[in-house]
Amino acid sequence: MAHANSANVVQRLDAYLERSGNQHLFIWVDLRGNNHLQRSISMMDNIISHVDRWRQFIFIPDSMFPIDRFLLRIEHRAAPNLELFSLSLGAESRKLPPSDQYTGSPSFEPLILRGGAPQLTTLWFDTSVRRHLPPSSNITTLHIKKDDSAVYFTFPPSLSILNLTTLTLDGEHHGSYMLVTTAPASITTPNLTTLRICNQCIHSGLKNWRAPLLETLILERARFGEIAEAPETSMPGKYSFPNLRALVMIDNEPCSRLSAIVLTHLTSSIKELIISDSRRRPPNGYTLVTELFNYEYTNQGWPRLQEITLNIRSLDQRDPEFLVRCMQTRCQVSHPTLKLDSGLLKIWMIKHRLCLLELGYLCEIEPLASSNSTIPIHWPADLHDGPFYKLFDRLETLNVPKYSFEE
């Protein structure tokens, strides 16, 4: 990992590049806050001269760096050993020509590293990158994050041509900008097994997504847009993910009755449901649970559901009666295991013993292991390969804390 603020850092990088011989290179360059433009240019020129040894390349330029020069220098280069490529132009993207200004979906036609990158399987970029992407024919893991310069981001139809197994679409935490997942008539990702949608509004595009091998769907800090179809007309014959096994919901906003019905139908084959919420005050995970389970249709959905994990920070403010109501209809469809924090169960046993016992008749109650500090969530292990994975914990890892309670 390199910053150009110190001449010593640049000298050590030069020495490392020279001593490492033919070894593969893991390069992370972050120029934000850098005040030495010429030093940055010289450092990047040296790094580019070793492009044939890149194995992982992560680059975040600052606002002064001439990004067009960098893109031009690697346009026709080959990176035969490159496995992971990440580029974030950020504010620098505003200096690109008007013809390159971002207006919608990215193009996966390669405009850099056109000499080839046959080993490249992991691609991370934000929407500032626009069309400046490397060859993507072998990409299996893709992370797209919306940057501040993009007003909107439409669902990219060109995803259908990729052989993705893992996809993350990450929108905006604050403000009115959204990463919009409205799709055309149908988008197919035939090999996709894990889909993570963060910080965006879930529109009807998810209903038009065909992913026959999808196993895990993660909705994180998502908002559920209204869908202009009545339940009785939107459900019969509509698509659901046939191979889906797990639905994970993390810090999501409440959903309407119709949104709950549509979501339940789309995910009807799940065996595991995880709801995690860090908020103490409504709207929080308690609200979402009641919305998902208190409707007649949603209770008749999820016929294969075997395990429910509730990792909700505000549950100590509630009694288990709301779960009794949720499970009364659910137990007619399946008899799932309900996982809750062991400390919460002790509190409820003291304060709401009879209600908790009634809940135990409706489902199997199992305490979450107190030794675990995080909630286990299905996430591909290959994303954690290489020396930089810990630095990407807020982008790609899923370390969801387990909320514990004391008497």
Same domain, 197 and 294: yes
Question: Residue 129: how many CA atoms within 13 Å on its side-chain side?
Answer: 27
pLDDT band, very low/low/confident/very high, at 280 (cuts 50, 70, 90): confident
Residue whose pair of structure tokens reads 């120029």 in the numeric block: 31
Cα distance between residue 328 and residue 331, in whole Å = 6
Torsions phi, psi for 236 (to 5 deg): -60, 125
139, 164, 181 — which closes off a domain?
Answer: 139
Same domain, 323 and 263: yes
Cα distance between residue 403 and residue 340, in whole Å = 10
**170 belongs to a structural domain:** yes
Same domain, 356 and 273: yes
- In this predicted model, what pLDDT tens digit does every residue of 139-160 receive, in sequence order? 999 888 776 555 455 555 567 7
**293 belongs to a structural domain:** yes
**214 belongs to a structural domain:** yes
Same domain, 158 and 131: no
Stretch 356-367: mean pLDDT, rounded? Answer: 93
Stretch 32-41: mean pLDDT, rounded? Answer: 84
Cα distance between residue 236 and residue 233, in whole Å = 7
Stretch 44-53: mean pLDDT, rounded? Answer: 95
CB 171 within 8 A of CB 118: no
Q: Whole domain around residue 269: which residue ranges?
A: 150-407
Same domain, 279 and 324: yes
Same domain, 130 and 182: no
Which of 260, 339, 340 is closest to 302 using CA atoms?
260
Which of 200, 199, 329 is closest to 264 using CA atoms?
329
104, 139, 174 — which closes off a domain?
Answer: 139
CB 294 within 8 A of CB 327: no
Stretch 126-147: mean pLDDT, rounded? Answer: 82
Residue whose pair of structure tokens reads 């919306």 in the numeric block: 146
Same domain, 223 and 106: no
Residue 394 has a pLDDT of 44
Same domain, 5 and 135: yes
Same domain, 86 and 154: no
Which of 207, 212, 199 is closest to 242 using CA atoms?
212
**145 belongs to a structural domain:** no
114, 139, 164 — which closes off a domain?
Answer: 139
Residue 314 pLDDT exceeds 80 = yes
Total structural domains in the chain? Answer: 2
**144 belongs to a structural domain:** no
- In this predicted model, what pLDDT tens digit does every residue of 161-203 receive, in sequence order? 788 999 988 875 443 334 444 445 577 899 999 999 887 777 6
Same domain, 134 and 162: no
Residue 353 pLDDT exceeds 90 = yes
Cα distance between residue 321 and residue 87, in whole Å = 50
Same domain, 119 and 14: yes
DSSP state of 79: -
Same domain, 215 and 81: no
**189 belongs to a structural domain:** yes
